[in-house]
Amino acid sequence: MTLSPSVPAEQRSLNGHLFHVSKTPDKLRHLINDIARAAKYISYAIKTTEAGLAGSVNMFGEEQVKLDVLSDRIIQEHLNENRLVATYACEEHDAVIELSPDAPYSVVFDPLDGSSLVDANLAIGSIFGIYEGKEIIGRTPREQVAALYVLYGPRTLFVYSTGSGVHEFLLNDVGEFIILREHLGIGDNAKNFSPGNLRGIDETDGYRDVVESWLKQQMTLRYSGCLVADVHHIFSKGQGIFTFPASKKYPNGKLRHAFECGPFAFLAEQAGGAASDGSQDIMDIPLTAVGQRCPLIIGSKNEVARICSLLTAV
């Protein structure tokens, strides 16, 4: 992992990095730049939209748009304007939406991840996956040509991969994403654990054993309720494990395969980590519907494998 001072000046901006380092094809580079621009508007909207009043009426009697709906609109507008996106699928719509039928890419996205945390002022995010062609259903996350996320925390971070490592950028005061760290890596063993869906601890065979094994090893608990923040923690610290298994309430888990599990599986693999649904690599599970859910075990390779064996052992 290298830090920004060692990066030549022309490679420090997101666009420069995409061009000079990742050698990203021009159209894909333009699309990622447009997504980054949308993220800046979302970041601004988060700071300026009345938190907690989402969906209600403001002091002028105007309807307040929920931040997740607003984020969705911002992204749609940016995807629409570049004529690079044939179709997209996202959390706010049940069906795949067609934009420019002959355009080269399709995009899957979660406009605002962790939206229930907005009023608590905890970190939230956006997640994107990009495919070539207009088909989304039937594809596997392995076919993504890029995956990225934005983390709106005390600072706004942008983390992307186009298949040659995972790179992290910081939104600076003049509105530019500048390189923070290149080649984020996830080590094979975890010291931190992030246990989602604990309410179902006795509803998925083996989950209690998994959690007890973490406690016994005196591992460090890190769970915020925002997938982007929780998995970014793993990328940032270079190790860790996040789980969101199935339960009675969520028979296929809660997280959405297309725009939550899929993009993060791509990024984890690029960083040397792994992602599984308990028995299968997330990267190889086909997308069957926009709203398809999937259990998720993601992070340090050895820990993902250990947990999958505990969850399937009983």
What are the φ and ψ backbone dihedral angles of 2, each rounded to 5 degrees? -115, 155
Stretch that binds Mn ion, among 26-34, 113-121, 144-152, 193-201 (CB under 5 A): 113-121
Q: Is the CB of residue 149 less than 8 Å from the CB of residue 128?
A: yes
- Select from Mn ion, ligand AHG, none the partner in contact with residue 225, using the beta carbon and a kind-dependent cut-off of 5 to 8 Å: ligand AHG
Per CB under 6 A, the list member of 35, 86, 123, 227 interacting with ligand AHG is 227
Burial 288-301 (b: 16+ CB within 10 A, else e): eebebbbbbbbbbb
- Select from ligand AHG, Mn ion, none the partner in contact with residue 269, using the beta carbon and a kind-dependent cut-off of 5 to 8 Å: none
Is residue 206 classed as helix, strand or coil in its secondary structure? coil
Select the residue whose beta carbon is closest to ligand AHG and give its number: 227
Least Cβ distance, residue 229 to ligand AHG (angstroms): 8
Q: Among the residues of 170-300, which ranges form H helices?
A: 207-216, 227-237, 262-270
Q: Is the CB of residue 295 less than 8 Å from the CB of residue 245?
A: yes
CA–centroid distance for 82 within its chain: 23
- Give the pairing type, strands 124-132 and 167-171: unpaired
Least Cβ distance, residue 241 to ligand AHG (angstroms): 13
Per CB under 6 A, the list member of 72, 92, 110, 303 interacting with ligand AHG is 110
Which is nearest to 17 in space by CA: 178, 255, 139, 151?
178
Residues touching ligand AHG: how many (CB under 6 A)?
Answer: 11
Per CB under 5 A, the list member of 113, 168, 182, 230 interacting with Mn ion is 113
- Which element (helix H / strand E) includes 73? helix 67-81
Stretch that binds ligand AHG, among 8-16, 72-80, 179-187, 223-231 (CB under 6 A): 223-231
The beta-strand segments (E) located in 189-309 are 192-195, 220-221, 241-244, 274-276, 296-299
- Which element (helix H / strand E) includes 42? helix 26-48
Stretch that binds ligand AHG, among 43-51, 81-89, 209-217, 221-229 (CB under 6 A): 221-229
116 or 279, CB closer to ligand AHG? 116
The residue with tokens 């996956």 is 129
Q: In the stretch 72-101, what mask flags binding to ligand AHG with x, by CB under 6 A?
A: -------------------x----------
75 or 304, CB closer to Mn ion? 75
Does position 113 bind ligand AHG by CB under 6 A?
A: yes
Does position 92 bind Mn ion by CB under 5 A?
A: no
Is residue 4 classed as helix, strand or coil in its secondary structure? helix
- Select from Mn ion, ligand AHG, none the partner in contact with residue 171, using the beta carbon and a kind-dependent cut-off of 5 to 8 Å: none
Half-sphere exposure in the Cβ direction for 136 (13 Å, CA): 27
Least Cβ distance, residue 115 to ligand AHG (angstroms): 4
Which is nearest to 290 in space by CA: 131, 62, 136, 106?
136
Is residue 193 classed as helix, strand or coil in its secondary structure? strand
Does position 91 bind Mn ion by CB under 5 A?
A: yes
Stretch that binds ligand AHG, among 4-12, 106-114, 154-162, 167-175 (CB under 6 A): 106-114
Least Cβ distance, residue 223 to ligand AHG (angstroms): 7
Q: Is the CB of residue 157 less than 8 Å from the CB of residue 151?
A: yes
Per CB under 5 A, the list member of 110, 168, 182, 303 interacting with Mn ion is 110
Residues in contact with Mn ion by the rule CB under 5 A: 91, 110, 112-113
Residues in contact with ligand AHG by the rule CB under 6 A: 91, 110, 113-116, 196, 225-227, 254
